[in-house]
Amino acid sequence: MAKRELTERERQGLENFKRMVRLLDLKRRAYFAKKCPKFTVRVSTVQFNHLMLLRAVLPCNLSRVMTVTGLTSAGASLFVEKLVSSGVLTREVDPRDRRNIIISATPAAKETFRLIDEGLNELIEGYFTQCGCTPEELATLERAGTIVCSKFDDPV
C-alpha cells in the first residue's frame, strides 16, 4: 500500500494524539520513579526507556533487542549485560539453536512490569473518572484506542 501524505488539517488533528502519548509517557515515568525506587536505582532512565520498549517482545534474542531499541550490536550487548548484572534480565542458550541466546525478564522484573501496568491503569482510569468524562466521551476514547492499537499492534 502506497504511503500518502497527511493534509495540514489531518496533521493538526493528530496534535492532541501526540500530546496524549507524551503525557502518558511522562505519567508512566513519574509513577515508575515514585512506586519502584529500588528498581529505579538499578536502571537508568535510558535503560528504562529501552526496557519498556523491549518488554513487549520478551523473551527474544539480541537481534530483536537491536531492532526494537535501535541500538547497535555493541550497544545492545552492553545494555543487556548491564541489565543482566542488575538482576533485571537473564540470558540463556536457546535449546533449539545453541548459537542463539534468549534474553528474558527475571521474575522480579516481570512483577515490576505488572505493578507498573496495574498502577498506571488505576492512575489513568482515575483521571477520567475524576475529570467527569461522560459515557459518550469514554466510548470515543475506546474507539480511538481500538484504531490506534489496530495500527500499531506489532511492536516492531
pLDDT-derived band at 151 (thresholds 50, 70, 90) equals confident
Compute the distance between CA of residue 130 and CA of residue 128 in angstroms, rounded to an integer: 6
Between 46 and 36, the more confident residue is 46
In the chain, how many domains are there? 1
Compute the distance between CA of residue 29 and CA of residue 22 in angstroms, rounded to an integer: 11
Q: Which residues contact 6 (CB under 8 A, 6 or more apart)?
A: 14
Q: Is the pLDDT of residue 9 over 80?
A: yes
Q: Stretch 33-50: mean pLDDT, rounded?
A: 75
Whether 3 is covered by a domain: the verdict is no
pLDDT-derived band at 102 (thresholds 50, 70, 90) equals very high
pLDDT-derived band at 19 (thresholds 50, 70, 90) equals confident
Give the per-residue pLDDT at 156.
52
Q: Stretch 96-109: mean pLDDT, rounded?
A: 91
Q: Which residues contact 123 (CB under 8 A, 6 or more apart)?
A: 27, 31
Give the per-residue pLDDT at 60.
94
User: Is residue 53 within 8 Å of 25, Cβ to Cβ?
Assistant: no
Q: Which residues contact 156 (CB under 8 A, 6 or more apart)?
A: 53, 57, 67, 68
Give the per-residue pLDDT at 48.
82
Whether 13 is covered by a domain: the verdict is no
Whether 15 is covered by a domain: the verdict is no
Whether 5 is covered by a domain: the verdict is no
CATH number, position 37: 1.10.10.10
Whether 11 is covered by a domain: the verdict is no
Whether 56 is covered by a domain: the verdict is yes
Whether 146 is covered by a domain: the verdict is yes
Domain that holds residue 56: 23-151
Whether 9 is covered by a domain: the verdict is no
Compute the distance between CA of residue 127 and CA of residue 34 in angstroms, rounded to an integer: 18
Three-state DSSP at 156 gives coil
Q: Stretch 115-137: mean pLDDT, rounded?
A: 82
Q: Stretch 66-89: mean pLDDT, rounded?
A: 93
